[in-house]
Amino acid sequence: MINEEQDLYRIGSVAALTGIAVERLRAWERRYGFAPAQRDGKVRFYSNGQLEKLKKMKRLLDHGATISDLIDLSDDQLTKRLTETPRQLPQRIQGRPQVDLIGANLLQLEQRQKGHERLDITARWANPQSFLEESASSSAETLVLQLPVLDNATIQQVSARAPNAALIIAYQFATADQVSQCDRLGLRTLRWPLSWEEIEFACLRSRRMAGPGGMNTQRQYSDEELIAMSVSDKHANQYTHQLVTTVQDLNALSGFLSMAAGEHEEQDSDLVASLDQAQEEIAFARSRVEAALESVHTAQLGDRASQSPSLPVAPSVRPPGTSAH
């Protein structure tokens, strides 16, 4: 989002918040005239109203509707269609991930936000002790834990009570060894203080579902991030380089197919549909390679950190508040 007053969202953010691939949004613009509210050069910006409409459309599409049936419906008509759906849609295909929050500072940060709708906050605890004392375990898909000091014992206890949740840890102080241990365990760590947009970004990025039917297949890394991972460190190994190259090749192929679909749009609708489907399959393949890249790159950073003296960790460069487009 670039302007809170106007509620404008980049196309990558819309893809992350709705589960609709960037390639499909562009195809809908070409084929059905579903254009973004504004443009800045080649960058598309969607309004909050468009975002809400797309969320409803996505739920109906996942329930068997076709885009041609939905694209011209008003917001009220889409809402009516949803109320007529005979059964509750699965939670995993809804636009917002379910998130639990632990930590007083984190709760205060959330309370200062107005009208945030990217996350579905299902439960809140002021501290880890309150969470651990409850008899029921967390059923959210993501749990954000805010700690003054990175405490591995507390992290393990919380993780055991939320075995199916992706755990994101926001910490104020830690040694390099502590951060490396979390990385080796596959735990996402963020340096506090954070903005709410950074919390949302981390939660949306943690959604790694199992297939095209519900998977969030927008790009995980921008071109700049891929280049940085590949060349910023002379110690970057051949596996990181190869994975980065594979992701770049898939991005290029997806862009080529998108261009080809535009060229054949008015001549061969069947070919365009096949090209759009191919882009979705490529996006799914890319998401799996990106997951492998993140794992290898994280392990590489952990190996280097384990060979260095344990020193307080400097504030890290935080990810942008929107997805790559």
- DSSP letters spanning 187-209: -EEEESS--HHHHHHHHHHT---
Q: Hey, what's the torsion of the CAs at 192, 234, 230, 201, to 10 degrees? A: 0
Q: How far apart (Å, rounded) are the C-alpha atoms in residues 71 and 184? A: 45
CA atoms within 13 A on the CB side of 125: 20
Residue 216 DSSP label = -
Residue 7 Rama label (left phi>0; alpha psi -120 to 50; beta): left
Max mean pLDDT among 13-17, 151-155, 237-241, 298-302 falls in: 151-155
Look at 21-35, 196-210, 307-321 and tell me which has the smallest mean pLDDT: 307-321
| pLDDT recorded at residue 90 | 38
Task: Grade residue 312 by pLDDT with cuts at 50, 70 and 90.
Answer: very low
Is pTM beyond 0.85 here? no
| pLDDT recorded at residue 1 | 41
pLDDT at 317 over 70: no
More confident residue, 52 or 135: 52
Q: How far apart (Å, rounded) are the C-alpha atoms in residues 94 and 52? A: 12
Task: Give me Rg for the CA atoms of the chain.
Answer: 21
| pLDDT recorded at residue 62 | 66
Residue in this structure with the two tokens 């940085």, named with its chain if needed: 228
Task: Grade residue 192 by pLDDT with cuts at 50, 70 and 90.
Answer: very high
| pLDDT recorded at residue 94 | 44
pLDDT at 65 over 50: yes
| pLDDT recorded at residue 135 | 61
Let me know how long the chain is: 325
- Adjacency order of strands within the sheet including 43-47: 8-10, 43-47, 38-40
- Tens digits of per-residue pLDDT, 90-108? 333 345 788 999 999 999 8
More confident residue, 146 or 28: 146
More confident residue, 65 or 158: 158
